[in-house]
Chains A and B, each alone.
Chain A
Amino acid sequence: MAEGIKEVSDATFDAEVIKSETPVLVDFWAPWCGPCKAIAPILEEIHKEFEGRLKIVKCNVDDNPSTPSSFGIRAIPTLMIFKGGEKVEQIVGMVERAKLEQAINNNL
């Protein structure tokens, strides 16, 4: 059984994302963002589908301002894929499941 999507913070971002051995998809979100809530079920499905091959984490931009600002994020939802500590993909705004799957597959 896959666990739920884990929250990361400014303090844990380096350990959970940058130093991760598996590729990581980070969902930058906030509670006031309608489209962020709308894509959450798609991310849950992706989380199950790619279990073991891709780690998915969420970063609340209200509680953790320095991580999003270090990546120049000025829109949410923003999804980023990290591989070996490097950002390899960035998707801004609402995204369809098929498009997201393709972006993940391109980077695994």
Chain B
Amino acid sequence: MSDVDYDFVIVGAGPAGLTAALYAGRARLSVLVLEKAAPGGQVLVTDWIENYPGFPEGVSGYDLIEKMTEQVKRFDVVIQTGEVVSMDLGGPVKKLELKDRTIAARTVLIATGASASRLGVPGENRYLGRGVSTCATCDAPFFRDSVVVAVGGGDTAIQESIFLTRFVKKVYLVHRRDELRAVKVLQERAAANEKLEIIWDSTVTEIKGSDAGVAAVAVKNLKSGQESDIAAEGCFIWVGTDPNTAFAKGHVEMDEGGFIITDDHRQTNIPGVYAAGDVRRTPLRQIVTAVGDGAVAAYEAMHYLENL
């Protein structure tokens, strides 16, 4: 008779969670992966991945996740749909509260990732799905030959804006600074793309429209203070991410942004509880780093279990 349901419960089936599942499954731990929607997380909305080693031509987000999931399933890992709403991490047995049941585990990995941040400007929620989007690969074909605005200056913003130019007539990329954060190879491609024009030193202040959807995006130049409207049918937002950690608040230590703080072993301030991937406080949030985090966390969980 066991006092727990599983040795290792992984919350979130993105690259971090799936890699941890692969390592723990091969170590013959009893493993449960809980995913609230569908395996993949943010990778699913990434149209093309060029910086994951082993795919010289690149790979689509969906194909990569499908392969990761298939690989995990070879090792007796249980993947279930479920959303953790709260936790009790006080004792040696950790309890995860779902809407309809409680799961008891010896070790827990939080790998719930992050979600696209919003701008918090008027019109943004109203026109979501009717012109406002955070997913070019899902929505770009609806903007064929249109003018759209994109917001951001990092890798995602540049990569996805370039993807948009395959469909749209023009992308105005609004960026708050006078230089891009994105990696050089993407900056070079952006500069060479005639359909992409960068509006420097500016922010979006409002998304305007009618019942038909988005009609214009109001932009303010931060240096001159000048405001203007760009006539556009779409507004794509790529301004960073927020961690999916609401359910863990008060249970594990986080930084002021809600990202979970771990040690070098990916352990949180609670022994036997780990965090991996984008949810963790880390200088780089990529698929490769998430995968590495997942492996370390699973390895540490094995050691923790051996010493119980």
Contacts and interface: CB of A to CB of B under 8 A. Distances in A.
A90 B138 contact: no
B129 A75 contact: yes
Contact of A38 (B37, B142, B212): B37
A88 interface: no
Given A34-B61, A96-B36, A97-B81, A75 B135 contact: yes
B38 A33 contact: no
Interface residues of A, number: 29
Interface stretch (B39-47, B185-193, B289-297): B39-47
A93 B42 CA distance: 12
Given A30-B141, A35-B138, A96-B83, A74 B234 contact: yes
Contacts of B143: 74
A69 to B, nearest CB: 8
Given A38-B62, A72-B213, A98 B38 contact: no
Interface string B31-66: 000001111100011100000000000001110010
Nearest to B40: A38
Nearest to A42: B38
B245 to A, nearest CB: 17
A93 B38 contact: no
A52 interface: no
Contact of A95 (B37, B45, B212): B37
Interface in A66-108: 68, 72-78, 90, 92-98
Contacts of B137: 32-34
A33, A75, A96, A98 pick with most chain B CB within 10 angstroms: A75
Interface residues of B, number: 32
Nearest to A41: B38
A74 B38 contact: no
| Most chain B CB inside 10 Å of its own CB: which residue of A37, A42, A68 | A37
A76 to B, nearest CB: 6
Most B CB within 10 A of own CB, among A78, A94, A97: A94
A74 B138 CA distance: 9
B67 interface: no
B38 A92 contact: no
Contacts of B131: 74
B44 A35 contact: yes
Contacts of B65: 34, 38
B99 A98 contact: yes
A18 interface: no
Contact of B38 (A38, A61, A62, A73): A38
Interface string B90-123: 0000000001000000000000000000000000
B133 interface: yes
A38 B212 CA distance: 28
Nearest to A97: B81
Contacts of A73: 129, 142
A61 B141 CA distance: 10
A39 interface: yes
Contact of B129 (A34, A42, A92): A92
Contacts of B130: 72, 74-75
Nearest to A74: B142
Nearest to A95: B37
A74 B133 contact: yes
B39 A38 contact: yes
17 contacts: A34-B40, A34-B45, A34-B60, A34-B62, A34-B137, A72-B211, A72-B212, A74-B139, A74-B143, A74-B213, A74-B233, A74-B234, A75-B130, A75-B139, A77-B138, A93-B138, A94-B44
Interface of A: 30, 32-39, 41-42, 61-62, 68, 72-78, 90, 92-98
